[in-house]
Structure formats: structure tokens, C-alpha cells
Amino acid sequence: MLNVKDLVVNYGAIQAVKRVSFNVQQGEIVTLIGANGAGKSTLLHTISGLMRPASGSITYLDQPIQKLAAPKIVRAGISQVPEGRHVFPGLSVQENLQMGAFLRQDHAAVSQAFEEVYTYFPILKKRRHQDAATLSGGEQQMLAMGRALMAKPKLMLLDEPSMGLAPLFISEIFDIIQAIHQAGTTVLLIEQNAKQALKVADRGYVLASGQVKLSGTGAELLATPAVQQAYLGG
């Protein structure tokens, strides 16, 4: 579904991503784990069209997308849930969700998408008229995920969905990620909570200093001593 090959991305004079290659097959959950500064978010921003690579290729459903503008990438079926959630303050929960569907013209299907989102996140339905800025951190994360689902993505990019959340919300968020995946959405997950991410992932890649250092199934990486020592506290 997604093939990233020899990708190089620069921040000014700094090479943040250094010839990274990885792939995501349709129907998988794939996770990228690594410390802060490893290049994970830069990779997602580049796949989403928010940054341009210096070299390398990004192929989605057999089509090159590394030169496409972000709206065209969303239309193609890729939605990103950004790190830090970035809900729109001053807009209600319902209006924030509507923003996720701004490229869609199929009004009946958009109405159905609202119901699907509210099925995943019943608390959002209760708070649909509330200013999004007044939600808790966990509720804002749910709203950011719901907003991405409103675009009806084939591939969802999740950037640190558990960051700053209480353990109860973290467990709930990962349950919802699995439910979204089981409903047919392929997932590329960036997550500092490596243990949780590798538990739900079909496959994973370990990034360090802008490069892929290890790859394998989620279970294989969980059992790898180097991963345990660096990311799992043991």
C-alpha cells in the first residue's frame, strides 16, 4: 500500500531523515518507534505532503506521491492525526469533525461518517456542541482521530496518540486504534510507548538518528534485547 524508499529529508542544513526505506501492506498496523529526534514525525509530515523530501520516493497504491500537495494526498485516502492533537479552539466538537470532511462532497456519506465516529467515541457525541478547547487531553485525542476518520481514509497516520495521556485513556486509545484497523483502515503508527505500539503492530521499524536500525514483527521486536534495553526499560 505504501512504499518509502531511500527517503532523505532535510531541515535546513540538518539531515533529519537519512535514506529511510520501509513499507506498509494493506490491512496492517505498522509502527515506527524511536527516541525524540529520530525522524519519526518528519517522516509522517513528508508522507502527508507537509514537507518535501530532498531525494527518495514515496509510493502509495502504486502511484508516486512525494510531489503531491497535502489536499491531494488526503483525497487519495491518507489522513494524519498530528502530534499534540491540534483541535480547532473556538469551534465545537461537531464543527471540528466537519473540518475533517471538508474535501468530501458526498453529504449522505458524511452524515454516516458522523455516526461512525460517534460510535467509536460516544463521549464526543455527548460533547458535540462543546468548544473543542475545553475537552480533556484524552477527549481531544479522540476528536483528532475522529476528525481524521471523517475523511474516510484508507491509510491513517497516527503521530504519538498516547502522548501526555493518563494510563486509562492510553488503553482506550489503543483499543480504538485496533477497532479502526479491524474495520478496514490500514494504520501507520508513531509512538514513544513502544511496548503498547509493538503489542498491537503486525510489524515495526526502529528509527535512530534518522535511519532504520531494526525491523521485524511486533512480537520479534518486543523480544529483541536491544529494543528491550533502549525502549522497554529492560
For residue 137, being part of any structural domain is answered with no
**How long a stretch of residues is the chain?**
234
Tell me the average pLDDT of the chain: 92
For residue 162, being part of any structural domain is answered with yes
Furthest CA-CA distance within the chain: 51
For residue 140, being part of any structural domain is answered with no
What's residue 106's pLDDT?
Answer: 85
CA separation for the pair 81, 89 (Å, rounded): 16
Tens digits of residue pLDDT in 44-59: 999 999 999 999 999 9
Ramachandran region, residue 217 (left: φ > 0; alpha: ψ -120 to 50; beta: rest): beta
H/E stretch holding 167 reads helix 167-182
pTM comes to 0.91
Tens digits of residue pLDDT in 70-101: 999 999 999 999 887 889 999 999 999 999 99
**What range defines the domain where residue 173 resides?**
2-86+153-231
Mean pLDDT of 162-186: 90
Write phi, then psi, for 180 (nearest 5 degrees): -60, -40
For residue 6, being part of any structural domain is answered with yes
**Confidence class for position 197, pLDDT limits 50, 70, 90:** very high
Nearest to 141 by CA among 92, 94, 174: 174
For residue 54, being part of any structural domain is answered with yes
Write phi, then psi, for 182 (nearest 5 degrees): -65, -25
Ramachandran region, residue 102 (left: φ > 0; alpha: ψ -120 to 50; beta: rest): alpha
| 8 Å CB contact between 127 and 143 | no
The total number of structural domains that make up the chain: 1
For residue 161, being part of any structural domain is answered with yes
CA separation for the pair 81, 157 (Å, rounded): 6
CATH code where residue 173 lies: 3.40.50.300
For residue 178, being part of any structural domain is answered with yes
For residue 34, being part of any structural domain is answered with yes
